[in-house]
Structure 1
Amino acid sequence: MIKRIITYFLIVTALLYGLRYLHYKGLVKQKEGYYGKLQEAFFEENAYSVLFLGSSRAEMHYDTQLFDSLTGENSFNLGLAGATPRVAFSALKAYLLHSKAPKYLIYEVDYYALKKKSSEIKEFNNYFPLLTNPVLRKQFSNIDSRMSQFYYNPYFSWPYTGLKNLSTSIHGWLNIPNQTDSLYYKGFVREVFRPSLNFISTKKQYAYFNISERSYLDSIIACCIENNTKITLMSSPIFAGGYLDVLNKASIISQLKNIATINKIDYYDLSSLPFCNNRGLFIDHRHLNYTGAKNFNPHLVNIFNNKIVLSALK
């Protein structure tokens, strides 16, 4: 009886490992879209001159195609949904495992969302097939200790897979593009599906730096300095300039400027540009749609060409 149980267990385990391999393989076979971006970032040897880093705001705001056409640079957008400074630092370290350090890095600072210690990875199950990158696995395991178990134990990871994730894998095996694949370009994603911002009620809150998130911002800065990368801190547009969401905007902006000064780098607050009161350019208070991104990027390019690059030449 015991022998039969052990045999069944070994068969089921082998099947789970096999199914998981096929599932992950279908995801990483994709060369475009979401998984194409992550595969390129964490496994390919890249030599981009400019790297954009941050949360979904970075991912949706910094248009690599428009930026490259206006600057002559070769950029990549490493923005990840829900990425706190701790998650962004992890992504940067994992990127540098295979890729050359960029000459310039622009880090998007979400100054309204820094008061909680980062203890989770948004959409963590999307990263399962990427945990073969040892740096990513180590860094993410420091945030969520389950990540190592997800990597080694199919019994633990399989229940978290999700039907959407399985569907995406099938698309990879059949070489069928996903609906959003064409919206990605060198990490930037065009937001064209969701409707423009409607009138929604918000509650103003105080913004401040959690000591842990501040330490990871310092780690991002130190990593760039160590790799001879010129890092610039930036905050991109927020609806109504952030004044509908943050009670102490002037104070948190002043703190960010002080952090920049201490580290002898620059911080640019572009969250209050003239078009920031136009609801038609936002999908919510914190995210631009594609039209909004096209309005923002000329301002970004102006800062890059006339301040960031020129100061690097001095």
Structure 2
Amino acid sequence: MKRFLLKLVLLIALIAILDILCGFFFQRLTKSAIGGDTARNEYIANKVEAPILIFGSSRAIHHYDPKIFKDTLGINCYNCGQDGMGIILFYGRYKMITKRYIPQLIIYDILAEFDIEENDNYSYLTWLKPYYQNDGIDSIFWKVEPKERYKMISQMYRYNGKILQILIDNVKNIREESYGYRPGKGIINYDVTKETKSPIIKVDSLKIYFMEKFIQDCKHNKTQLIFTLSPFYSGDENVHQSYLAIYELAKKYNIPIISHYNDEDIVYRKDLFSDSYHMNYMGAEIYSKKIALEIKDMDKKQHK
């Protein structure tokens, strides 16, 4: 019996040592990545210092060209958008960023699916896992999924599902980007009926909780926050009702919303979209110029 217990203890100790070593190995690979989402996520968490930041889903990545914002507003901009992600990730990113510096302006491209609607909130923790030890990040996990605190004891678990990507991102940069912006390519080649989405959506109280915390933190840090609704191909007649929860928060905290969701100069032009959800680089150029000029005008009015 004693021999069995000794072997069991040794096995557990060996597993623990291997877990720590593997975790350390992938932590180093995360920091040394030369491109892709691994390097981008590391840069946003620990290195970005641009006064203007773009937050939001893949629509943020493809719709906002930082060079245009820099040329129009005269200060550096970086695009922190992330495919399929919403407020739970971006609240965590803001917490990490503000440990180093305070951004002057955040432009947040809102998408109901990831920022308002009820769905699998666990998936939004993916890009925060390697930074669980950072101040304020662990509490986000506990709020989303309390049992995660036990799983995160494992160093290797923090890189679960991303191992192949981390390895590839250390070998070559397979994505074209500029200051975090990834220009969309191609032109939509199918017809889309004008969107008439139901204005009734199931609001996720957890997302709204994090969105309100994010707004409050921006207010406390004196980071100017602007919500934006960028165009979909063919638009949406019910956009205001679908995004009512955001409009209510914006009104409560006096946050401006710039909506081009149904901008007729953009939404009916196939040549500006790569698919029904995303503009290509030509659409992004037109849209980025519009938004940058509107923000510039807003600043002028505020300083009069």
Deviation at 1:137, TM superposition (A): 3.0
1:32–1:282 Cα change, 3 Å: same
Q: For 1:15, give the aligned amino acid.
A: L
Aligned AA (2:180): G
Residue deviations 1:130-170, cap 9 Å, x none? 32323223323322335434431257x28x723xx333333
Deviation larger for 265-274 or 211-220:
211-220
Paired position in structure 2 for 1:116: 117
Instruction: Pick the aligned partner of 1:12 from 8, 11, 15.
Output: 15
The gaps in structure 1 that reach 5 residues or longer are none
User: Aligned pair 1:190/2:191, yes or no?
Assistant: no
Distance 1:154 1:135 in 2: 18
Answer yes or no: is 1:170 the counterpart of 2:167: yes
Q: What is aligned with 1:242?
A: 236
Alignment partner, residue 286 of structure 1: 277
Contact 1:107 1:234 in 2 (8 A): yes
Query: In the aligned structure 2, how far is the partner of 1:222 from the partner of 1:275?
Result: 33
Please state how far the C-alpha of 1:235 moved relative to its aligned partner: 0.7
Taking structure 2 as the reference length, the TM-score comes to 0.83
CA shift in 2, pair 1:254/1:42, >3 Å:
closer
Aligned counterparts, 1:129-208, within 5 A: 129-154=130-155, 157=157, 161-162=160-161, 165-171=162-168, 175-180=170-175, 183-192=176-185, 196=188, 198-199=190-191, 204-208=197-201
TM-superposed CA distance for 1:61, in Å, is 1.4
Contact map agreement 1:235 1:270 (CA 8 A) in 2: yes
The answer (yes or no) to whether the contact 1:83–1:121 under 8 Å persists in 2 is no
Take 1:242 and 1:81, find their aligned partners in 2: how far apart are those partners?
22
Paired residues of 1:82 and 1:122 also in contact (CA < 8 A): no
**Secondary structure at 2:283 match in 1:** helix
Percent of matched pairs sharing the same residue = 17
1:26-41 to 2 correspondence within 5 Å? 26-41=29-44
The one-letter amino acid of 1:217's match is: M
- Give the 5 Å matches for 1:298-313: 298-307=289-298, 309-313=299-303
Aligned length, in residue pairs:
298
Residues of 1 paired with 2:199 and 2:244: CA distance?
Answer: 14
Partner residue, 2:81: 79
TM-score by length of 1: 0.80
Q: Using the alignment, how far apart are the partners of 2:246 and 2:163 within structure 1?
A: 42
Aligned counterpart, 2:223? 229
Residue 192 of structure 2 contacts residue 233 of structure 2 at CA under 8 Å; is this kept in 1? no
Provide the rounded CA distance (Å) in 1 between the counterparts of 2:40 and 2:149: 23
Residue deviations 1:97-130 (CA, integer Å, cap 9, x gap): 22x2112221212246655336524364444323
Supply the AA of the counterpart residue of 1:188. Y
Q: Cα distance, 1:72 vs. partner? A: 1.5
Q: One-letter code of the match for 2:21? A: G
SS for the counterpart of 1:240 is coil
- The answer (yes or no) to whether the contact 2:62–2:281 under 8 Å persists in 1 is yes
**Are 1:22 and 2:25 an aligned pair?**
yes
CA contact (8 A) 2:198 2:242 kept: no
How far off is 1:204 after superposition?
A: 2.9
- Give 2:190's aligned amino acid: N
Task: Please give the alpha-carbon distance, in whole angstroms, between the structure 1 residues aligned to 2:17 and 2:9.
Answer: 12
Q: Quick check: 1:16–1:154 contact (8 Å CA) kept in 2?
A: yes
Asked whether the 8 Å contact 2:196–2:236 carries over to 1, the reply is no
For 1:269 and 1:203, locate their aligned partners in 2 and report how far apart those are by CA, in whole Å: 17
Please give the secondary structure, in 2, of the residue aligned with 1:41: helix
Equivalent-residue separation in structure 2 for 1:13 and 1:112 (angstroms): 39
2:166 partner letter:
S
The alignment yields a C-alpha RMSD, in angstroms, of: 3.0
| Pairing 1:67–2:61 present | no
Of residues 258, 278, 297, the one that matches 1:268 is: 258
How far apart, CA to CA, are the structure 2 residues paired with 1:207 and 1:215?
19
